[in-house]
Structure 1
Amino acid sequence: MASEYSDIKFEIQGKIGIIKFNRPNALNSFGGNIIPDTIAAFRVLNDHPDTVFTVLTGEGRFFSAGADVKATAEANQKPVTYKNAAEKKLAFLQKFAYATELLRSMIDHKKVFVLGLNGPAVGGGACWFPGIADIILASNTAWLQCPFSALGLVPENGSAISFAQQIGIHRTNDFLMFGRKLSAQECEDWGLYNRVFQSAGDEFQKEVMRFLEGQLDVNDGKSMIEMKRLQNAPIRDARLVAVVNAVDALAERFVEDAPTKRFAEKREELEGKRKGKISKI
């Protein structure tokens, strides 16, 4: 029987549900069905009678490179004409609806949400998940970077708030405004990562499972789930409002064509460098 998931791997091992991004050749970027598949798996685990931990991780060397640049470029080859700015904004709000539902699924998830950062995360891969996860276990290869400002975008899906809650406002501004690349060591030192393992690939995945199974050996699952509920209840609505505000701001940037202009400038800059190298040969 074929799996109902095409772009994730999904399994349950005892009291641990595992969702694994599975587009390694595309660095687990958000193309194909990766987001719908992930939302579906979160729904299954949310209502599962036995699981305590929900682990989100990735196959291959990257956790996620964020937006699928290739798919976006192909879509932009077919320009769309809008009657006015309102119609244009509504079109982009519809495009971003999948991301809103993904964030809501994670914010409202009943089980202990563990982010297993198996490798680097960029853009949406870096900003959508760490601020929402309850526990972050990371490989020492798992650096983060969000180059939103360089591309005329904004911090996506409430990340401006969720990161500020985790690492403070000034560090968040440095990370999101300036597109600073954070090493795994910095993330651990700042309290964003709970633990950093000196491993990658299959060995990292095994370490994550051993750690969580060890916690289940000594801690009551229902108590851990209740801890999560009590902690998150007062901030749940604020997190969702932050997501809505971020989606609105992102749509406005696209109405202004800011990302399109920035991408065009970047392409011209890269093309100029490429021609300069050729002329010196």
Structure 2
Amino acid sequence: MSKRLQTIVLEAILLVIGITTVFPFIWMVLSAFKPNSEIRALDQSLLPQEWTLDNFLSLQDKFDFVRFFANSLGIALIVTALTIYTSCLCGYVLAKYRFRGRNAIFGFILGTMMIPWAVTIIPRYTMFEAWGLRDNYLALIIPAAMSGFGIFMLRQSMSDIPDAVLEAARIDGASEIYIFHRIVLPMSRNPISALAIFQFLWAWEDYLWPYLMMDSEEKQVLSVGLTTFNGRYGTDYGGLFAATTISVIPVLVVYLIFQKRFIAGAASAAVKG
């Protein structure tokens, strides 16, 4: 098989996989413009036979969509910002400072990535309950403020920053804080962009932890609020699809902002042999 034919076959396979992956999302978006009677009908069609905006216009009447959306957006932005900063700081220290126990600390951080998240739910819940932080936004922010994956990613990337650049800055009288904020961070924009996409997505779609910790409806996040469409005798599919369609917008916006640096940032974090 020639190289040209192999390329065509590979592209065809990727096209089929891409269409298969995207089709459910397209179906959901188009269904958001259908009335519930058409969504439940046995005779289904991809395009709405009767276009309607009622599912979007009535969202706020069915539940406090704006409040839930604002809560999710605020928490996701705060968590993403904190995770990026702590990951950059820890990654820089582990990559460029020489001290006893550095490799052991880095190994411990890697070990935390191997622990299933479900194992930590009960002890984490007990801790925050004892601290009186239940039904408090801090309970959603503190556990996600540091990321083992983020530290690993930034440490791998910052290892490539030439030591000569940092030494030249020190000779010129730059402080360590100045070097970190004005030299290291700008040179790490690619991995920071990749981490921003990952972390925002994880924080935005988190369901179980907010469901356990937040009791007040006005403090709840959107991922939990969407479950209110599941009624006792039926599900408002039109409203659910409309709310889910809107909830995807922030993730798409973040990806579009950082997409140019995403691939380069992910590649820079690869383990070097």
TM-score by length of 2: 0.24
Higher strand share: 1
Structure 1 or 2, whichever has the larger Rg, is: 2
Of structures 1 and 2, the one scoring higher in RCO (CA 8 A, sep 6+) is 2
TM-score by length of 1: 0.24
